[in-house]
Structure 1
Amino acid sequence: MEAVPLQADPAPLQQVADAMADVAESMQAPMDLGRTLHLITQSAADAVPGIVEVSISLTHKDGRIETIAPTGPLATRADELQYELREGPCVDAALGEPAVMVGDLATDSRWPAFGPKAAALGLGAHLAFQFRADPHARGALNLYSTAPYGIDQDSLHLGSLFAGQVALAMGWAKQDATMSEALETRNVIGQAVGIVMERYSLDADRSFAFLVRLSQSGNLKLRQVAVSLVESVNHKAK
């Protein structure tokens, strides 16, 4: 898609800048991913010219696509219609296309089943942007207009900024979850080492080696062995 210089009015640009600041603040750990995604979709609906409702389509490994953080029922129904038909801009974006822009859903021939049905719902135009967040999160940010040709190049450029925010939030949440899990694993293994040290009068290194041998002989992850030992001791203490 050929790049077009951004020439949006100062007011929408200020709205976008304010929205970006709000999203950045919401991503302070520990982050509430649901709240952040709702903030992004509502901000996009408020700030992008011509857009009335926004949603996020999230893909799953089993092929399902689900809608999250919609700003209203119209976006949800339009998304679900595309999932049912397996065609439409948000499906194309979620599964492959970086960005899809539709000026008039009623007459666009790319989606012969979805287009007329979307128009019957009262939709005129549609923007969809793919987002990716390592390692596995992928989907689309969907922006809907009720007016045919109600979106333009300014809508396209501003909408892409919010799609980037979705990817950033997804990636940040995954990193935060991974760090929290790593910290929890370290803590429970430390507790298990302390239990072995006390129970068998071993030093820390030998106690850790003891846990490693248990995990290998039982074909279990070290964390599973540690959790089982800690839970057993806590249960007996009750």
Structure 2
Amino acid sequence: MSLDQVMADIAAALNVPIDLDDTLRSLTSSAVENIPDLISASLSVTHRDGSIKTVAPTDSLSVQADQLQYLLGEGPCVRAALEEPVVIVPDMATDPRWPVYGPKVAEMGVGAQVAFQFRAQHDQVRGALNLYFATARQIDDETLMLGRMYATHIAIAMGWARHEETLNEAILTRNVIGQAVGVLMERYKLDADRAFDFLVRTSQTGNVKLRVVAEALVAETTDQARR
């Protein structure tokens, strides 16, 4: 999985002149293809009458898991759609926040789950990108970075975000990570995938955002070149 490939998939989904439903399905499908261990994805969209509906599911698993959360009134997708920006659940079977939903969805084959909120700029309508993982796992910085990227571009596709600002932010993040990958490739004679893995591990070990690690490495290299 390459960051450039993820960005290319997102750009393709946003630029091809197809309808909104097709665009959203392309984005959730791309998330499943590019995020490690992800087996299913969907969108939960709130409505003015208080209901929440599933959009662009990749398969029946996400539909069933979403519906179970709506029925019970608990779960990461409900919490993200209505309240929190990001909800992370490394182990669905044992997390005490979801005493009913957690064990039930674990029996369905979901080990971990993450939900990212997106919302309209000038409205109270909100939504969530729901990511379902096959096994209980720590949710690393790479997964969070990619999930946020997909959530941002889903908001763009729905017209819920300003395209220029959010796209420029995504491009800046990609560019600085690309520069850092280039530095590592040159310094340690690594290929691009290994250099990116190096960045991710450094981010995880230091509990620092991937972009911050990349920016620090690029700044350090620039300072050394000036001396």
What TM-score, normalized by structure 2, do the two folds share?
A: 0.67
- Written as runs of structure 1 = structure 2, the 5 A alignment for 1:165-184 is 165-171=153-159
1:127 to 101, 111, 114: 114
Range with bigger deviation, 63-72 or 132-141? 132-141
Given the alignment of the two structures, is residue 32 of structure 1 paired with residue 22 of structure 2, yes or no? no
* Contact 2:115 2:128 survives alignment (8 Å): yes
SS at match of 1:52: strand
Matching residue of 1:79: 66
Matching residue of 1:43: 30
Distance 1:32 1:89, change over 3 A: same
Given the alignment of the two structures, is residue 139 of structure 1 paired with residue 127 of structure 2, yes or no? yes
SS at match of 1:63: coil
SS at match of 2:53: strand
**TM-fit CA distance, 1:162:** 0.2
Runs of 4+ in 1 over 3 A off after TM superposition: 134-137
Amino acid at match of 2:36: P
Give the aligned CA root-mean-square deviation in angstroms.
Answer: 1.9
- Written as runs of structure 1 = structure 2, the 5 A alignment for 1:1-238 is 11-26=1-16, 28=17, 32-136=19-123, 137-149=125-137, 151-171=139-159
* Contact 2:121 2:160 survives alignment (8 Å): no
**TM-fit CA distance, 1:172:** 6.6
SS at match of 2:152: helix
Identity of aligned residues (%): 50
Partners of 2:29 and 2:75 lie apart in 1 by: 22
Question: Please, which runs of 5 or more residues in structure 1 have no aligned partner?
Answer: 1-10, 176-238
* Contact 1:50 1:150 survives alignment (8 Å): no
Amino acid at match of 1:23: A
Aligned residues: 161
Distance 1:61 1:172, change over 3 A: closer
Partners of 1:79 and 1:12 lie apart in 2 by: 29
Question: Please, which runs of 5 or more residues in structure 2 have no aligned partner?
Answer: 164-227
Partners of 1:163 and 1:87 lie apart in 2 by: 21
Matching residue of 1:231: none
Structure of greater Rg: 1
Partners of 1:172 and 1:25 lie apart in 2 by: 16
* Contact 1:131 1:164 survives alignment (8 Å): yes
